[in-house]
Structure 1
Amino acid sequence: MVFPAPFADCRHWHWYNEKKPDLEAAEDRVTSLPGQPSVDFRHYAGYVTVNETNGRALFYWFYEATTLSKEKPLVLWLNGGPGCSSVGYGATQEIGPLLLDADGRGLKLNSFAWNTEANLLFLESPIGVGFSYSNTSGDYDNLGDDFTANDAYAFLHKWFLKFPSYRNHIFYIAGESYAGKYIPELAELIHDNNKIDRSSFVDLRGILLGNPETFDAEDWKGMVDYAWSHAVISDETHKTIVKSCNFYSDNPWNDTECADAVDELLNQYRAIDIYSLYTSVCIGANNATLVTARSSLKMMPRVMGGYDPCLDDYAKSYYNRLEVQKALHVYDGSNLKNWSICNMTVFDSWSDSKGSVLPIYRKLIATGLRIWVYSGDTDGRVPVLSTRYSLSMLGLPIKNPWRPWYHQKQVGGWIQEYYGLTFATFRGAGHAVPIFKPSESLAFFSSFLYGESLPSHR
């Protein structure tokens, strides 16, 4: 593998960052996390205040790269919802180095952690998600895409004050689900402000989006066609939706026939895991199925993300422990925080959502930003068809046509490279791809960072 700058000539200097003193954000260093196995890298957690006047603070968890942390890129990971925790999902179920154990009492090492390739920064965003909060109740009435992007941008610059040595690192943004909106919006904000104020320059080189919400109308069409093509709904239901639903209208649910047919689609998904069609659901102690569509009928259900609802419950148990909150520097000495993996109040009250981020894609593509999009092909909520339909609206010329890509001599999925964007699928993966395909995901992430094509041969 060829290492572009700043990686050049550094691969054998594994001692380089291990011998540097820990001078940055010492008060946020995590040293006594319950159930944590021994690790040879540093990690930090705590709050960054993004608005002093309103008392608005976002919670982060930062893992240094396992080697060469001062040389490797910085990657911000965001989960969606809106209202779901990047700590509960991304950090401790998907790509972080410390994953929740099955009983929720401790943590285990992730053999395919992405911090082998980069420094990982997980952000609970916006306020109301996880441990993030505001002391001003009116802030919660303003939650939406723009609010979230502006707070995330403020967070980055305040975080760099804590960790100044990372300010000049190559920077990427990655995430999944409703972060398909968050990530392009934040990337655009960074791009625009970089041109205005060089003193606040962020060296953004690319974005990586998994099963992302992109263009509402095409996302809905893809969801409907996917459900029909995978035998979740009947021919009759599919025909009714195609005939009666105009997903391009401001409110397609005003049509009763359309709304009833979409209700039927969601009802069929309640029997299985919409985020992973072919895996078992979690059965509770009373033999009740815990998986639901997690949505209100007659409206667009936003993606609440996730794979194993039982593991979601374990996460809630773990992060509501006093000793865990002390270790993560969120306990204020008197009140235990009420942490949940998804905040339904945030979800239900979301006030501002762009119907399409494709105009932002076009803008970012024109700048030469690296943009990779991937889809787990067993996800029913933001299925591969939704993403293909949305991306096709860009009309990008094809650079390298559709082909399988390989990992450990097996087909990992399929890929098509356009001029300006790469799209890939993961064969047999659900909504949160790294849970299902951890080894393939790490290899894919590495290829993204280096801008290399995925292997085309066994």
Structure 2
Amino acid sequence: MSAKAAPAELSSTGSSRPQPTPMRSPSSFGSPEVGNALTDDFLDHYGVFEYYWMAGLISDRSYRMLNLHRTSLSFLHKSPECDDILDSALEEIGDIDIYSIFSPTCTCAVTFSGNKLLKRLHDSGKMGDKYDPCIENYSTVYFNSPEVQKALHVNPAFAPPKWITCSNVINENWHDTPSSVLNIYHELIQHGLRIWMVR
């Protein structure tokens, strides 16, 4: 279920529920959690460009150009002009991890070595651990291993040749995304649901 499809489905079930009373909780399934969501194309674009520019990751020129095109664009289905500007901005960002801009960059090539890799994935993220800038590389290798693909029931006939994070195959074929789900969030909140937004 996509980040934008989930609120729509919740909304259709949530709005048909009876209104909460003092004796009945507003929701029998708790609070939905929405992670890394595309919520509103205009605001999402604005926030990303603003973050890149305020952090000094892109030039003033790229920021101005991105803002010229942000009003009429979908985050996933951009015009060729916007794609060119984004490509230029991403070149300016280089190897910096946009989710952890003050962390070191990954400089090593990673290969699958079974137990070591699994241990590294298991151990990462514990309190007090140093940030490992290569964690995405480990997960890429892990999810491409034949054992994991088999365990996940990946059908080779339909799978892309290689699993990657943030797959362009998915982004380029996702055509049913609305430009905003804010109205759905408002409806869910009016029906007593609390929504956890995590990044």
Place the TM-score, normalised by the shorter chain, in its bin: 0.5 to 0.7
Sort the Cα spacing of 1:341 and 1:188 in 2 relative to 1 into closer, same or farther, 3 A: farther
User: Alpha carbon RMSD of aligned pairs, Å?
Assistant: 3.7
* Higher percent of residues as strand: 1
Sort the Cα spacing of 1:285 and 1:331 in 2 relative to 1 into closer, same or farther, 3 A: closer
Q: Does the CA contact (< 8 Å) of 2:41 and 2:73 recur in 1?
A: no
3-state SS in 1 of match to 2:13: helix
**Identity among equivalent pairs (%):** 25
Aligned residue runs from structure 1 range 111-190, under 5 A: 148=1, 179=3, 181-190=4-13
* Higher percent of residues as helix: 2
3-state SS in 2 of match to 1:373: strand
- The one-character-per-residue Cα deviations of 1:245-298 (angstroms, maximum 9, x if unpaired) are 2423578736x4x55433322222342223332223333439xxxxxxxxxxxx
Sort the Cα spacing of 1:346 and 1:237 in 2 relative to 1 into closer, same or farther, 3 A: closer
Match among 39, 42, 57 for residue 217 of structure 1: 42
Sort the Cα spacing of 1:356 and 1:365 in 2 relative to 1 into closer, same or farther, 3 A: same
Sort the Cα spacing of 1:353 and 1:337 in 2 relative to 1 into closer, same or farther, 3 A: closer
Amino acid at match of 2:163: S
Amino acid at match of 1:365: I
- The one-character-per-residue Cα deviations of 1:97-122 (angstroms, maximum 9, x if unpaired) are xxxxxxxxxxxxxxxxxxxxxxxxxx
What displacement does 1:206 show?
1.3
Sort the Cα spacing of 1:374 and 1:344 in 2 relative to 1 into closer, same or farther, 3 A: closer
Q: How many residues align?
A: 163
Match among 28, 43, 53 for residue 228 of structure 1: 53
- The one-character-per-residue Cα deviations of 1:134-186 (angstroms, maximum 9, x if unpaired) are xxxxxxxxxxxxxx4xxxxxxxxxxxxxxxxxxxxxxxxxxxxx62x233123
Gaps of at least 5 residues in structure 1 are 1-147, 149-177, 196-201, 287-306, 376-458
Sort the Cα spacing of 1:203 and 1:282 in 2 relative to 1 into closer, same or farther, 3 A: same
Amino acid at match of 2:179: G
Q: Does the CA contact (< 8 Å) of 1:315 and 1:341 recur in 2?
A: no
Q: What is the alpha-carbon distance in structure 1 between the residues aligned to residue 174 and residue 78 of structure 2?
A: 18
Sort the Cα spacing of 1:260 and 1:317 in 2 relative to 1 into closer, same or farther, 3 A: closer
TM-score (norm 1): 0.30
Match among 103, 107, 123 for residue 283 of structure 1: 107
**Greater RCO (CA < 8 Å, at least 6 residues apart):** 2
Q: What is the alpha-carbon distance in structure 2 between the residues aligned to residue 240 and residue 351 of structure 1?
A: 25
TM-score (norm 2): 0.63
Sort the Cα spacing of 1:352 and 1:270 in 2 relative to 1 into closer, same or farther, 3 A: farther
Q: What is the alpha-carbon distance in structure 1 between the residues aligned to residue 136 and residue 181 of structure 2?
A: 29
Q: What is the alpha-carbon distance in structure 2 between the residues aligned to residue 229 and residue 207 of structure 1?
A: 31
Q: Does the CA contact (< 8 Å) of 2:62 and 2:89 recur in 1?
A: yes
Q: Does 1:267 align with 2:91?
A: yes
